[in-house]
Amino acid sequence: MCAGIVLAGGESRRFGSPKALAEWNNRTFIEYSIESLSPFADKILVITREELLTPLTKNSSMHIRILKDAPRYKGKGPLAGIYTGMISQKADYYLVTPCDMPLMSSSMYGKWLAAAREGEYDCVIPVLNGKIYPLNGVYKRTCLPDITSCLQENIYKVLKLLQRKNTQYIEVNKEEEHFFKNVNTTNELNRIIELSFD
């Protein structure tokens, strides 16, 4: 079984409002995130902050749950979000995505999941022009003990977890680069809107 984890707990300081609720083409970023995972995830968990639970509940269904971080690690970043997803839903693999990449394609998750299964990797993570994208990728349930250890040791960087596990890094092809445009400011959102009309 595969579960999807959408990380939507960031404070969106530079954006000025919650990115999960930002809209493009009359759809919210969270809807795009869910769509990118849906073909391969039996269940999807949206991990967010307390104040976003209510506005995000309209996205909940039999297959989609909206959750806040486990209290012990509240506000401790993406690693805590992955931890919350893993302890809330048992699965063999977890497909992870941030909520600020509305162009991300489900085809990428299909590719990474196949690589994880074929190579028996704990993590499969994309690399674009030398930059590692640890918040996009596939994490096996075998990561949970090390995630727990990291959090208990006050280690919150996902990259530190990847160093402890059998991780496969997959180079992103040139034609796939646009999937990785993340939106941190309203100017970046406007740029994506402009590109969609080019």
Beta bridge partners of 168: 124
User: Is there a binding annotation on residue 100?
Assistant: yes
User: Is there a binding annotation on residue 10?
Assistant: no
User: Is there a binding annotation on residue 9?
Assistant: yes
| Of 99, 101, 122, nearest in space to 112 by CA | 122
User: Is there a binding annotation on residue 198?
Assistant: no
φ/ψ of residue 169, rounded to 5: -100, 130
Whole-angstrom CA distances from 173 to 79, 178, 179 are 27, 10, 10
Place of tokens 């769509």: 35
User: Is there a binding annotation on residue 22?
Assistant: no
User: Is there a binding annotation on residue 8?
Assistant: yes
DSSP reduced 3-state for 157: coil
HSE of 53, CA atoms in CB hemisphere, 13 A: 6
Q: How far apart are CA 9 and CA 136, in angstroms?
A: 15
Amino acid of residue 52: L
Q: How far apart are CA 21 and CA 154, in angstroms?
A: 30
Known binding residues for Mg(2+): 100
Residues making up the binding site for GTP: 7-9, 19, 69, 100
Which residues contribute to the annotated binding site? 7-9, 19, 69, 100
